[in-house]
Chains A and B, each alone.
Chain A
Amino acid sequence: MRQQDQLSGIQVMILVASTILGTTVLSLPRTVTKEAGIGGVVATLFTGILTFGLTVIITLLSKRYPNQTVIEYSVEILGTIPGKIYGAIFVIYAIFVSGGVIRAFADALKIHMLPNTPLEIIMISMLIVVVYAAMNGISVLAKTNETFYPLVFFALLLLLVLSLPRFRMDEFRALLFLDLPSVVKAIPQIIASYLGFEIMFFLVPFARKPKKVLLYSVAGIFITSTIYTALVVISIGVLGLAVTQKLVYPAVILAKHIEFPGSFAERFDIFFMVLWILAAFTTLESYCYLSAFSLTRLIGLRNYKPFIFLLLPVIYMIAILPQNIYQIEMLLSVIGLLGSFIVFAAIPMFFISLARKKGERKNA
């Protein structure tokens, strides 16, 4: 790859951050506080630290095989059959995420912005754009993320800052009486929102400076976990814990209560959702690309472009599978499970790889 087409450090950071920030951000305060109540704040922080550690492991692991993606080196580490199984799970996971995210996105969009437009049209139109993006390769992926992520970040920042005047500290006193079990109970659901950093499995071969990738990937996670925690905190402080637990999309309601300074526009939630479309797009883009790319590598071929079209109908079918909003949540938790498996599997892989290399050196 030409040097200028390789990923720079900033691109790695933004890729990680924007793949994580997707559709779950809208309902994040609820998923976090549903089980854990006020402890959800702590749970979000904890999960952030957890994913931080996981990212470090994944990055270090990928750095040991700088010219291979996880599909290839998992075979090296675990052996052919387990490695291929892992790869297959990854492909299935990426496909499911694509379908789930596009469905969640279309649902949220339909309820707030386009109530009469058929769901299929929303999904198909987004899919077409995503395919166009994914066809152009990882460097275009990185560049579009670089353009869009600052806008998304800005929207979220505005959301948080403009809600501050109505922030009340009262409910946070209960943090003093926290009990750990409820916090821990909430963590599995929150991990699903934090997923996205597994893209690091694939980025090292494309990076311009593979040695420096670690710093940027953890910077990406750091940004995201800060935003997530801030969102949860402000949501509880402004809307109140009880309300946050009951709203389907607390972030949007938070936006609906904001009054534009000077009243030059009425509904901040439309402004926010319009920029959030970009967040959903960047996440989808990464996962669609990943699904086609990982499938190609799994089979052993080089050109991933035809596979995008092959996977399109599969993704679409998964997207129309859930019948109602509760089934969408079920799909998302299935995705969470798959994703957790994939990222947690990096830990043993890392240690096995360490042991192997040591062993090889001893033998050599």
Chain B
Amino acid sequence: MRKFLLLVFIVPGLLFLTSCWDYIEIERSAFILGIGLDKEGDQILVTYQIAQPNAYGREGGGDVEGFVNINITAEDISEANIKLLNQIDLSPSFEHCQVLLIGEDLARSGLKKNLDFFIRDAKVRKRMLAAVVQGKAKEVLDVKVKTAKSPSLYISTILNESSRTSFAITSFVDVGHIFDNLVRNSDLVLPKIIPLKERIVVEGGAAFIALSEGGMRMVDWLSVAEIEGIKFLSESAISGRLLAKLPEEMGGNIDLLVFNVSTSLVPEFRDGALIAKSKVHLEGDINRMERLLHLPKNPEEISALEKALEKYISRRIDEVFTKVRDELGVEVFEFDRKVSSYYPKYWEKNKDNWHEIFKTVKLETDVDVKIRRVGEVTR
């Protein structure tokens, strides 16, 4: 028995010595940090940003570039991946891919066949973030940023971290969110990226409409102010700074450091019409007032300040909602998800006409602002 068991352990040992199929030395892997997709005629231009490990070693630090960009023109992303194998001597790995950047022209013409790969492939990092570039994605990936080793990492850090602390940056959208929206045929907002000479700016967004045949297409840009409103409506605001314009005697331009936001968007049927009820509850500290060292003198003044802020925010939300609904015709607030959970039967019947129905939806806002602290200065 013992001899037999020994045999049982030697034979597999021999099996394993034949080859290791998945063994890839780490330095023989090309870690793709970011992918850029641009339209080029009928084909797409794929830019792969591949990491250069030498920049990360302690000796080669400073002068070596942290990345190398390879541009490949192909029919779609899958073909580009295959062409990539001809062009680098390393084995491509998508496991560290930070961002997926889509050029404006490709976004406007529609994304259908190029998204499938990222969702289906098991080895693609699913927390990869997507964004739209004003211009060509290739340009963004070429920017030699100073504070990070590669633009991909730079962008992904901004989107991950700063979107939590600023209302001007859309909350990040990763592959999972895209999949979610595609499956539910829902419209979506992606962050906007603007390449500059040595910097990359992430602000504002792009509204995408879901195509009935699958896929999505960009409709238009959204400004910073609009993004602010959208964040409040779609329950993705976390914290940030609110710049509000108030009348002179109340302090002029006021800067509120908001640290606690809770929003809700609830659908309701009233007299056969669909209403979106938005409730926003904000808590913040006054961070800056235009009138130097002006302070609210009494509780009534604070209340008045709060009311003014509430009106301001309410107005902003209204504006955004109207613009998005009437001009752009997209519903980017995840309102469809709400309707489908509150009124599933209605949703089942009408989900194919969602865009028409949305045009008739009215908005009701209820904003509540609480000012907690006024900074270090007191009366």
Q: Do chains A and B touch in the complex (CB under 8 A)?
A: yes
Q: Is A242 touching B176 in the complex (CB atoms < 8 A)?
A: no
| A111 and B122 contacting across the interface, CB-CB below 8 Å | yes
Is there contact, CB below 8 Å, between B127 and A257?
yes
Within 8 A of A (CB), among B171-198: 174, 176, 179-180, 183-184
Write the A99-143 contact mask toward B (1 if CB under 8 angstroms, else 0). Answer: 000000000000110111110010011001001100000000000
Q: Which residues of A contact B344 (CB under 8 A)?
A: 174, 177
Task: Let me know if B338 is at the binding interface, CB within 8 A.
Answer: yes
Task: Tell yes or no: B340 within 8 A of A by CB.
Answer: yes
Is there a chain B Cβ closer than 8 Å to A205's Cβ?
no
A329 at the interface (CB under 8 A from B): no
A114 touches B122 (CB 8 A): no
Q: In the complex, are the beta carbons of A117 and B341 less than 8 A apart? A: no
Q: Fill in one digit per residue for A52-66: 1 if any B CB lies within 8 Å of its CB, else 0.
A: 000000000000000
Question: Is the beta-carbon distance between B184 and A242 smaller than 8 angstroms?
Answer: yes
**CB-defined interface of B5-18 with A at 8 Å, one 1/0 digit per residue?**
10010001001000
Given contacts A112-B122, A116-B21, A267-B95, whether A242 and B341 have CB atoms under 8 Å apart is no
* Cβ–Cβ < 8 Å partners of B125 in chain A: 256, 266-267
User: Is B199 among interface residues, defined by CB-CB distance under 8 A?
Assistant: no
Tell whether A115 pairs with B22 under 8 Å between CB atoms, given A124-B12, A177-B345: yes
Q: Does A76 contact B (CB under 8 A)?
A: no
In the complex, the number of residue pairs spanning A and B with C-beta atoms less than 8 Å apart equals 66
Q: Which residue of A lies closest to B340 (CB)?
A: A174
Q: How far is the CA of A132 from the CA of B4 in the complex (A)?
A: 12
B180 touching A243 by the CB < 8 A rule? yes
Chain B residues near A302 (CB, 8 Å)?
Answer: none
Residues of A within 8 A of B22 (CB): 114-117
Complex: A177 Cα to B346 Cα, angstroms: 11
Q: Indicate if the CB atoms of B21 and A239 lie closer than 8 Å.
A: no
User: Is B126 touching A171 in the complex (CB atoms < 8 A)?
Assistant: no
Residue of A nearest to B345 (CB): A177
Q: Do A266 and B183 form a contact, CB below 8 Å, given A112-B122, A114-B22, A170-B341?
A: no
B337 touches A240 (CB 8 A): yes
A261 vs B174: C-alpha distance in the bound complex, in angstroms? 18
Q: Which residues of A contact B373 (CB under 8 A)?
A: none
Tell me what chain A mostly uses at the interface: helix, strand, loop, or mixed.
helix
Q: Judge whether B96 is part of the interface by a CB distance below 8 angstroms.
A: yes
Distance in angstroms between the alpha carbons of A128 and B183 in the assembled complex: 42
Given the interface pairs A174-B344, A256-B127, the reply to whether A128 lies near B12 with Cβ below 8 Å is yes
Contacts of B15 in A (CB 8 A): 121, 124
> In the complex the two chains form, is B183's CB within 8 Å of A246's CB?
yes
How many residues on A have C-beta within 8 angstroms of the other chain's C-beta atoms?
30
Contact call B341/A253, Cβ cutoff below 8 A? no
The answer to whether A242 touches B345, judged by C-beta atoms less than 8 angstroms apart, is no
Which residues of chain A are near B96, meaning CB under 8 Å? 266
**Cβ of B112 < 8 Å from any Cβ of A?**
no
Q: How far is the CB of A155 from chain B (nearest CB, A)?
A: 19
Q: Does B123 contact A (CB under 8 A)?
A: yes
B93 CB to closest chain A CB (Å) equals: 12
**Are the CB atoms of B341 and A174 closer together than 8 Å?**
yes
Interface membership of A173, Cβ < 8 A: yes
Point out the residues of chain A lying under 8 angstroms from B12, CB to CB.
Answer: 124-125, 128
Cβ-neighbour of B337 out of A115, A132, A170 (below 8 A) = A170
Shortest C-beta distance, B107 to chain A (Å), equals 23
Instruction: Name the CB-closest residue of A to B20.
Output: A117
* Chain A residues, CB < 8 A from B183: 242-243, 246
**A118-B123 Cα distance, complex, nearest whole Å:** 17
Q: Which of B123, B126, B174, B184 contacts A115 (CB 8 A)?
A: B123
Across the interface, name the chain A residue whose C-beta is closest to B347.
Answer: A174
B342 at interface, CB cutoff 8 A: yes
Cβ–Cβ contact B342 & A243, under 8 A: no
Q: Which 4 A-B pairs have the closest CB atoms?
A: A173-B341, A116-B21, A256-B126, A117-B21
Question: Could you write out 11 A-B pairs with CB less than 8 Å apart?
Answer: A115-B122, A115-B123, A117-B21, A118-B21, A121-B21, A171-B341, A174-B344, A240-B337, A243-B179, A267-B95, A267-B125
